[in-house]
Structure 1
């Protein structure tokens, strides 16, 4: 409950800072349209939004701007982590058909709220001061509404985190570094009758240095009383859980490039499209048309993944590789997307140069924004395969006790890739001007395409050597989705 209310406090404080101190300094119709979108990006794109929005911040309020963005990031991260679990805890207290009715009503309210905001709020509010003021008031009201009803919620006692046991393993093995593990693994510590363990993992020979954490070493009094220090003695299951986490580090690192690529669609693709001609047969299409096509193809790609993974044609021994293959496929789509984006950007810059618009960001470039449609479509498919593949990999390969962290691990990998994109932009700052018209985004796209191409081989090399475990039907039924910030309530969806 505390973790749910804290994001409300941080959100209200952040919006209050932006409203009272910074709101009057912004204009949502400013030339740097990415400034406006930066605040609405999800947590993975906050660093990108910060980098782009700083160009419109007045020097005297930079500190408050940093504080506000930090509070928003902290609040969104806490909410996206705690709210899905809270929702499912409350839903499980409802029985019968009312449970499905509650879910339908809940999702309906969320989508109606998003639609009403997009149609009736944003088009009519013309200043950042009003926008942040409305957001502050809304969050302030919902925060106290949540506090008022806290006594009626179903409370679940904390059961501890399995990630703590990983810290126990590292600590215990460190203090026992000079001990030698027994040749017979059955002599290592394991609680066969411990009902708190959701599953018992078999001992493996890899990373044997961690086996020292399970070496039984106790004093006479502890031996008689059967008392063990968890920081000094771990079970074989806990040791194997730590081994799984270490073996996943190379795979996790190979997921950074996908996160970097996905962040481009919420920044430069949209910024470029905003300066192109959106009239088709005399009718001006909204900029959200490209985003709509992105979401449509993202949804269709997810459907293909579900049929491929859960279909009857899928062999049992092949399902453990499905998520890995889909992730590689997403990487291929990302490379193709970047190549197309680079070629289109070269054509756009040629048009900009022809009409002498390098220093004129107000004039619409005489080039249809539908030229960007193929790259948005491929980006949508790449994003779907990345998210489903990475999330499925963690759901399949994590121990049962850690499966609830599959979503955060997958989302964390993509988010870290976004931060890597900020570093890449900083390293190639010579290619970026004050506007997209006097920048060389095509160079940036080509570099990302090369990185993505090599990442395919890196991902394939690591994935082929990863010791996959068999995928059980239970793990498929309990697959937990990573939060998807652009899909509204999908963060609360379970297969």
Structure 2
């Protein structure tokens, strides 16, 4: 780490940067548009139309979507005062970000499933037989390494096999579009959680058959390798969705808003983890009343993680359907603007 810090500090002398004077932060510019539009929401459209015609405030290629933000062009009294109203470019920036919101929201379904890889799947693995061969046992937490291994294996296959084949059909240099890549990854994620539910059902069945339900420290006679397909499917989903989301939110915003795009991308996984925790808390409260074993009981053999996985599978299906709808709408609106 010290060596890396030294190289980093030496590199700072070669960085290119530009000083843009009094230019405001993109977060501030976008926020100002929304605040101004809310303040002017009672303003009638007629003054805006007059202003547009008289001063050519909005060019002919102005986005027809989210036209309510155009009210940020006026001050509350209907006049256009220099320095107190937003510019056309500011409004278009706000519309660009707002256009990404439906994709952001529907991607949260993927992020919630993504959060389970390092939590409940690991907890399941701890109850199963991790023996690879006599004398060598893999730890439950180490099973997560198969996500990274599958990513390493799938990326070359994606780049060297999938993309050329897809390119032959779609004539797209990337094989498929960024939105298609995200959607395929969300589909793999939904399949992953369905497999997780089926495997957990089998684990609970074996625990009952061997009468091990109430024996907390006894290993279930079921190989931990049953969890391998879930980790592999999660890795494949990452290759499509995680990379696709990063490319999409970075590419679909103006250069000045690239930091905003990356912030939106990263916030998907942060908010997804919070939503996962919220779901667990609510379900724990509802299913654990009156002294009953909740879906997340400390004794996993008495719990019902399979029910939780089926719930996530349903949410994933809804999120995927909504994503397909909003992706089509996004493409249509992008074409209409250009």
Note whether the superposition's TM-score is higher than 0.5.
yes
Aligned pair 1:349/2:204, yes or no?
yes
CA RMSD between the two structures:
3.4
User: What residue is the counterpart of 2:90 in the other structure?
Assistant: 238
Given that 2:163 and 2:175 are in contact with CA atoms closer than 8 Å, whether structure 1 keeps it comes out as: no
Q: Deviations over 1:179-234 (max 9, x none)?
A: 532264683548xxxxxxxxx99522222221122248356xxxxxxxx32xx311
Instruction: Give 1:364 deviation, angstroms.
Output: 1.4
User: What residue is the counterpart of 2:63 in the other structure?
Assistant: 204
Tell me how far apart the structure 1 counterparts of residues 207 and 28 of structure 2 sit (CA, whole Å).
56
Greater mean alpha carbon deviation, residues 162-171 or residues 180-189: 180-189
Superposed, 1:86-485 pairs within 5 Å as 91=11, 93-94=13-14, 160-177=24-41, 178-180=43-45, 181-182=48-49, 184=52, 187-189=55-57, 203-215=62-74, 217-218=79-80, 228-229=82-83, 232-287=84-139, 288-303=141-156, 313=167, 322-429=177-284, 430=287, 431-467=295-331, 469=334
Instruction: Give 1:277 deviation, angstroms.
Output: 0.9
Q: From the superposition, tell whether residues 305 and 407 of structure 1 become closer, same or farther in structure 2 (CA, over 3 Å).
A: farther
Q: Deviations over 1:384-430 (max 9, x none)?
A: 32211211221221122111232221121122122111222223222
Tell me how far apart the structure 2 counterparts of residues 305 and 164 of structure 1 sit (CA, whole Å).
39
Normalising by the residue count of structure 2, what TM-score does the alignment of the two structures yield? 0.79
Q: From the superposition, tell whether residues 350 and 385 of structure 1 become closer, same or farther in structure 2 (CA, over 3 Å).
A: same
Given that 1:330 and 1:381 are in contact with CA atoms closer than 8 Å, whether structure 2 keeps it comes out as: yes
Tell me how far apart the structure 1 counterparts of residues 125 and 282 of structure 2 sit (CA, whole Å).
25
Given that 1:275 and 1:365 are in contact with CA atoms closer than 8 Å, whether structure 2 keeps it comes out as: yes
Tell me how far apart the structure 1 counterparts of residues 326 and 8 of structure 2 sit (CA, whole Å).
35
Normalising by the residue count of structure 1, what TM-score does the alignment of the two structures yield? 0.55
Tell me how far apart the structure 1 counterparts of residues 53 and 107 of structure 2 sit (CA, whole Å).
34
- For residue 298 of structure 2, give the secondary structure of its aligned residue in structure 1: coil
Paired residue total? 308
Given that 2:196 and 2:227 are in contact with CA atoms closer than 8 Å, whether structure 1 keeps it comes out as: yes
User: What residue is the counterpart of 1:104 in the other structure?
Assistant: none
Given that 1:172 and 1:233 are in contact with CA atoms closer than 8 Å, whether structure 2 keeps it comes out as: yes
Q: From the superposition, tell whether residues 310 and 204 of structure 1 become closer, same or farther in structure 2 (CA, over 3 Å).
A: farther
User: What residue is the counterpart of 1:117 in the other structure?
Assistant: none
Given that 1:301 and 1:385 are in contact with CA atoms closer than 8 Å, whether structure 2 keeps it comes out as: no
Instruction: Give 1:259 deviation, angstroms.
Output: 0.7
Q: From the superposition, tell whether residues 306 and 400 of structure 1 become closer, same or farther in structure 2 (CA, over 3 Å).
A: farther
Gaps of 5+ in 1: 1-86, 96-153, 191-199, 220-227, 471-495
Tell me how far apart the structure 1 counterparts of residues 319 and 196 of structure 2 sit (CA, whole Å).
19
Tell me how far apart the structure 1 counterparts of residues 301 and 60 of structure 2 sit (CA, whole Å).
57
Q: Deviations over 1:281-335 (max 9, x none)?
A: 3142322542221101123444456667799948786769622111111111111
Tell me how far apart the structure 2 counterparts of residues 237 and 466 of structure 1 sit (CA, whole Å).
20
Tell me how far apart the structure 1 counterparts of residues 150 and 172 of structure 2 sit (CA, whole Å).
29
